[in-house]
Amino acid sequence: MPAYRAPLANHHADRSLCPPEHKHTSSGKPLHPDCPGRSYSQAVCTCGGWEIKNSGKGYVNESRKRHLATHPKPASNGLAILRELLRLDLP
């Protein structure tokens, strides 16, 4: 089972990606001289069935965390290997 991800991305008003090095105030106003400001934040899950887009970065981040918590945790490969090693094949 894959580990699902829903990365958080910030965007400018023209829908272009706002790079991580563009820092903002909590309201989205730019602190970087070349940044027009954060217009909205977006998260899209790799499951293909969920996405959110909102002007509130904190809201998007909380929603993203809640959604990811609905996916089952992937089984660790280490346990599967250990199980195979400890398996007893009785005749």
Residue-wise pLDDT for 16-70, tens only, equals 999 988 888 888 888 988 899 899 999 999 999 999 999 999 999 999 999 999 9
pLDDT over 90 (residue 84):
no
CB of 46 closer than 8 Å to CB of 5: yes
Q: List % helix, strand, coil for the chain (3-state, nearest 5).
A: 25, 20, 55
d(C-alpha 24, C-alpha 32), whole Å: 7
